Chain A
Amino acid sequence: MTLNWQPTATMGTLRERARLIATVRAFFAARGIWEVETPVLGQGGSTDVHLVSLSSLARTDKGQRKLWLQTSPEFHMKRLLAADSGPIFQLAKSFRDGEVGARHNIEFTMLEWYRPGFTLAQLIEETTALVAHVLPQSPGPVVYYRYRELFHRHLEVDPFTTSLVTLRSLAAERGNMSAQALAEEGRDTCLDLLMGMVIEPTLGQQELSVVVDYPASQAALARRHQDADGEWVASRFELYLNGIELANGYDELTDAEEQRQRFDADNAERRRLGLPEVDVDAHLLAALEQGLPASSGVALGLDRLIQLALGKTRLEEVLAFSTANC
């Protein structure tokens, strides 16, 4: 058997990809957002418990160091913001170990941009405009959903107040999971399962769906605020098209102390779960201490957007070489 060296995408698709990327660059140029390039390697990595980071040993001027392949360009770009870059965007190669499938590849291209002075609402508007700009046909109207409202509508439970016992049995039933496997799991795992298995497939059908007001426990690097019902929620949004999650945006956390606490809490959770700890990004914390301008930022899976724009069913159809044949 000869080794299959051929590209996973056709040459025609790769040319289309190049054309779409040119339209992305034109979109940002027209809005005065400039393109930056930041390192793929970093001395710190993402502590997010649900991400698996790749790392590499490098011989540096300080001796052999473990450097982390970035799961998104977020930390480096925030350091640029703290150094008064103004609005910036990047097409960044990012890495998430183990993520393989029709919508995932371990190495992928993240389109990430930051808007100092923008509210989350302004950034949502810009993100939907970018998506509409890239797609060959109108994706339909932009429709907003609150996280809570989605659970009421599709599952008749409240993500904030329904008891954990009820959430577990509902998640097992609707998520095709054994009750035993969920017996030790917390609220967020149950909500993630229900979101992924039941709600997500219904989103972005003939519309661009924007989900807001995520539980505060799912804030990641976003600020938190109290919603209209007095519930603490994350200042975060997600954008869906055709049941596919396309983008995740934050009103960015700028408080160095709270950021440090969230990193430490992540690593504590990692120890509890027996997962490897990730080096906290000290440079980012130092930048936050000095001061990050109030900003909104969003990360968009560019390969997925191209996949949708070209009507492809699998991500590898828009990649020159997928991880399976890289």
Chain B
Amino acid sequence: MANYSTNEFKAGLKVMLDGDPCSIVENELVKPGKGQAFNRVKLRNLMTGRVGEKTFKSGDSLEGADVMDLEMEYLYTDGDMWYFMKTDGSFEQYAVEKKALGDTVKWLKEQVPYILTLWNDKAISVTPPNFIELEVVETDPGLKGDTAQGGSKPATLSSGAVVRVPLFINQGEVLKIDTRSGEYVSRA
């Protein structure tokens, strides 16, 4: 991979730091009066998801990380690994470990496209679409007439996620959920 110098550090650039692939979040020049310039850089560790800060002398460089985001459809799990397939017509499949799947495990639905982040061709994280439609598999019976406001109740969805839904929602209904907040949006 190419090396990138501090003045090429832009949000989204993928670099290697202490052996882990990282994505640059923010890069700010710090230059005291007359002296040496530094870059204060915020980076997200793509293995752990954690954001940290590191300072570099301006002009120093980091090795680029071979990180790619690819769209893939979820296929199935054998309980050990989760399998996804490229949507480019190649039918190429990737097996994903539980650790890389993280919280996305509760938003899985067959044939829905996800973004897989690959590092050296190995999946290190899976991002669900912002909105996903899932069926309610378990919730208290809906309250008739309550279509506007009122309280909420928990509902278990087909993917296993539990979300708060309005009281009028019934078992078997398909709901639109915002995966970023884990909140109910509407009936699908």
Per a CB cutoff under 8 Å, which of A48, A99, A176 touches B40? A176
A106 CB, nearest partner CB in chain B, Å: 10
Contact present for B54 and A100 (CB under 8 Å)? no
Contact present for A177 and B54 (CB under 8 Å)? yes
Contact present for B36 and A188 (CB under 8 Å)? yes
In whole angstroms, what is the CA distance A98 to B37 when docked? 10
In whole angstroms, what is the CA distance A99 to B33 when docked? 13
- Knowing A175-B55, A193-B55, the reply to whether A100 touches B29 (Cβ < 8 A) is yes
Asked whether A102 is an interface residue with its Cβ less than 8 Å from the other chain, the reply is: yes
Interface residues of B in 1-57 (CB under 8 A from A): 7, 27-38, 40, 53-57
Asked whether B60 is an interface residue with its Cβ less than 8 Å from the other chain, the reply is: yes
Provide the residues of chain B in CB contact with A104, threshold 8 Å: 29, 31
In whole angstroms, what is the CA distance A299 to B30 when docked? 19
B33 CB, nearest partner CB in chain A, Å: 5
Contact present for B33 and A245 (CB under 8 Å)? yes
Per a CB cutoff under 8 Å, which of B29, B34, B38, B58 touches A175? B38
Asked whether A260 is an interface residue with its Cβ less than 8 Å from the other chain, the reply is: no
Contact present for B7 and A197 (CB under 8 Å)? no
12 A-B contact pairs sorted by A residue (CB < 8 Å): A50-B34, A50-B35, A50-B37, A100-B29, A104-B31, A176-B55, A177-B38, A181-B57, A189-B35, A196-B31, A218-B34, A248-B34
Provide the residues of chain B in CB contact with A98, threshold 8 Å: 7, 37, 58-59
Per a CB cutoff under 8 Å, which of A99, A181, A189, A220 touches B31? A99
A109 CB, nearest partner CB in chain B, Å: 17
B interface, how many residues as a size bin?
20 to 34
In whole angstroms, what is the CA distance A197 to B31 when docked? 9
Provide the residues of chain B in CB contact with A178, threshold 8 Å: 54
- Knowing A100-B7, A100-B29, A181-B60, the reply to whether A195 touches B35 (Cβ < 8 A) is yes
Asked whether A103 is an interface residue with its Cβ less than 8 Å from the other chain, the reply is: yes
A interface, how many residues as a size bin?
20 to 34
Contact present for B30 and A196 (CB under 8 Å)? yes
Contact present for B30 and A197 (CB under 8 Å)? yes
In whole angstroms, what is the CA distance A197 to B59 when docked? 18
In whole angstroms, what is the CA distance A248 to B38 when docked? 19
Q: Specify the main secondary structure of chain A where it touches its partner.
A: mixed
Asked whether A255 is an interface residue with its Cβ less than 8 Å from the other chain, the reply is: no
Pick the most buried of B7, B29, B34, B54: most chain A CB atoms within 10 A of its CB.
B34
In whole angstroms, what is the CA distance A101 to B37 when docked? 12
A101 CB, nearest partner CB in chain B, Å: 4
Contact present for A99 and B35 (CB under 8 Å)? no
With CB as the reference atom, state the residue of chain A lying closest to B30.
Answer: A196
Provide the residues of chain B in CB contact with A188, threshold 8 Å: 35-36
Interface residues of A in 208-229 (CB under 8 A from B): 218, 220
A259 CB, nearest partner CB in chain B, Å: 16
Contact present for B34 and A48 (CB under 8 Å)? yes
B83 CB, nearest partner CB in chain A, Å: 36
With CB as the reference atom, state the residue of chain B lying closest to A201.
Answer: B30
Contact present for B40 and A189 (CB under 8 Å)? no
- Knowing A99-B29, A104-B29, A245-B33, the reply to whether A196 touches B58 (Cβ < 8 A) is no
Provide the residues of chain A in CB contact with B30, threshold 8 Å: 196-197, 200
With CB as the reference atom, state the residue of chain B lying closest to A49.
Answer: B36
In whole angstroms, what is the CA distance A200 to B38 when docked? 13
In whole angstroms, what is the CA distance A183 to B17 when docked? 18
Asked whether A37 is an interface residue with its Cβ less than 8 Å from the other chain, the reply is: no
Contact present for A218 and B38 (CB under 8 Å)? no
Q: A101-B29, A191-B35 are in contact. List 6 more A-B contacts (CB 8 A).
A: A50-B36, A104-B29, A175-B38, A177-B38, A188-B36, A196-B35
Per a CB cutoff under 8 Å, which of A50, A177, A200 touches B56? A177
Pick the most buried of A48, A100, A175, A192: most chain B CB atoms within 10 A of its CB.
A192
Per a CB cutoff under 8 Å, which of B29, B33, B53, B58 touches A238? B33
Per a CB cutoff under 8 Å, which of A197, A218, A245 touches B55? A197
A65 CB, nearest partner CB in chain B, Å: 27
A71 CB, nearest partner CB in chain B, Å: 11
- Knowing A176-B55, A177-B56, A181-B60, the reply to whether A196 touches B38 (Cβ < 8 A) is yes
Provide the residues of chain A in CB contact with B37, threshold 8 Å: 50, 98-99
Contact present for A196 and B32 (CB under 8 Å)? yes
With CB as the reference atom, state the residue of chain A lying closest to B33.
Answer: A238
With CB as the reference atom, state the residue of chain A lying closest to B41.
Answer: A176
B56 CB, nearest partner CB in chain A, Å: 7
With CB as the reference atom, state the residue of chain A lying closest to B39.
Answer: A101
In whole angstroms, what is the CA distance A176 to B18 when docked? 14
A45 CB, nearest partner CB in chain B, Å: 16
Interface residues of B in 69-112 (CB under 8 A from A): none
